[in-house]
Amino acid sequence: MSDAVEIFCDGACSGNPGPGGWGTILRLGNNEKELSGGEPATTNNRMELTAAIAGLAALKRPCRVVITTDSQYLVKGMTEWISGWIRKGWINSKKEPVVNRDLWERLLELTGIHTVEWRWVRGHDGHAENERCDELARNAIGKL
């Protein structure tokens, strides 16, 4: 997918909940942009979702996008679980309200603009972009 925008993203938390950060790399061909940010009181899962949202929100027009993350929560949420949550009125398999609904809805809105492929990679396993996103996320925590 050489004409696709690549988004690499990761979230981190110091304590869960606790201060958290996220990091995102956007790449199209040889052009690359890094984004990061954090929140003083959050969860790791919220930071994982926020990293993907930030990457998609940075795109200026509809694109083909490949999102690579080490978060199975994010990938499975978007590829397996979300349609059931919506069908059941945002109730999960435990018959409880879906956690982080606000972020899932924002992610759903943004993925509706683009053609998105989700890819999972094992975290902390030498994947260069994933390692860099983790570094961006952890540095963002340090700036809080």
Catalytic residues: 10-11, 48, 70, 124, 134
Annotated ligand binding at 125? The verdict is: no
Residue 80 marked ligand-binding: no
Q: Count the neighbouring beta carbons within 10 Å of the beta carbon of residue 126.
A: 8
Region of 22 (left: φ > 0; alpha: ψ -120 to 50; beta: rest) is beta
- Yes or no: say if 140 and 37 are a contact pair by the CB < 8 Å rule: yes
102 carries a ligand binding annotation: no
For residue 10, say whether it is annotated as part of any ligand binding site: yes
| Ramachandran quadrant class, 89 (left: phi over 0; alpha: psi -120 to 50; beta: rest) | left
Cβ-contact 85, 104 below 8 angstroms: yes
Known binding-site positions: 10, 48, 70, 134
Residue ranges for the known binding site for Mg(2+) are: 10, 48, 70, 134
